Amino acid sequence: MSIKQRSQNIEVEGFGVSYDRHMLYYQQQILVRQLGLRTVLEMPSFGAKAASSLYSIGFAKAGCGVTLTDLDEKMMRYWQELWLESRLAVKEFVDYAKTDFYDNQFDLAWNFVTFAGLPDKNAYMQEMIRVSRRYVMLISCNNIQLGYPLHRAIHSLFNFPWNHGETRYNYIGNVKRLMLNNGLKIFEYGTIDSPPWPDPVGFRDVRLHKKGIKKIEYDWVVPVIEYIKTNKFPFWMDLLRTYDISFRKGYWKLPFSHLFYVIGEKEK
């Protein structure tokens, strides 16, 4: 790839994605303390219109050993910038329902929004339960929030193929049911990433789809890494986080939140 091509494919994550990552970072700090986590599996760990391989950084920063099933090698530099590469292990699998992890190998097995695109959700869930000692967490896009009709309209208006997986798993009740049907009990659920703008805003979404999200290898610039490194987040992020984290549990922020989470617990 030429220098000119590389410069054209550089993509800086916007303020909305940075806020997503900010919220995940603080939620993970809380979960490590609350659940006593030491080992975490993220499977799969590829990105959704953003840099992949970075969604578990909050767990690693809080002291956990993190295993990813997919690693974008270009993103390793961010783990190194944060001096966290020693807490990272990587495994590659073609079938996420059949891995060679040990039974009960991890304290938490989790996924960020991409499980909705996997072919057999029940087989995947059974594998996540098998390799987890106690907890499984799924974070999903929230189709109840006010920006969802805009998202669907963008795909329809510009004739973009729907590439966000089965939309039924963007509803919290269906994710809870998936866990319950596979033998988990619901430990906690709620919403995170609840800023005062709809998701998506629109313009960036259109541009990325036109360029071809899956066809182009982007060189992602991830501003939140610098915030984590210096432990200095923009004031507006800290202000929103205070509200967002404090009221994360339950349903009441669903009309405004971009993401929801469900944590399942294995029966003892």
- CATH number of the domain residue 225 falls in: 3.40.50.150
What token pair was written down for 261? 């989470």
Rounded to the nearest integer, the mean pLDDT of the chain is 88
Number of domains in the chain: 1
Q: How confident is the model at residue 83 (pLDDT cuts 50, 70, 90)?
A: very high
pLDDT at 237 over 60: yes
Among 85-89, 160-164, 189-193, name the one with the lowest average pLDDT: 160-164
Confirm whether 2 is domain-assigned.
no
pLDDT at position 230 over 80: yes
- Is the residue at 115 inside a domain? yes
Beta bridge partners of 219: 10
In a domain, 224, yes or no: yes
What is the percent of the chain where pLDDT is above 70?
87
Does residue 122 fall inside a structural domain?
yes
How many Å apart are CA 241 and CA 232, to the nearest integer? 13
**Structural domain that includes position 96:** 12-144+166-195+219-265
Residue 120 has pLDDT above 50, yes or no: yes
Instruction: Flag whether 41 is in a domain.
Output: yes
Residue 4 lies in a domain: no
Would you say residue 100 has pLDDT above 70?
yes
pLDDT classification of 217: cutoffs 50, 70, 90: low
Average confidence (pLDDT) over 62-70: 96
Residue 204 lies in a domain: no
pLDDT for residue 246 is more than 60: yes
Instruction: Name which residue leads in pLDDT, 205 or 85.
Output: 85
Strands of the sheet with 259-265, listed across from one edge: 88-90, 65-68, 39-42, 106-112, 132-141, 259-265, 185-192
Cβ-contact 108, 93 below 8 angstroms:
no
- Is position 97 within any domain? yes
Distance separating alpha carbons of residues 102 and 268, to the nearest angstrom: 18
pTM (two decimals)? 0.90
pLDDT of residue 166: 86
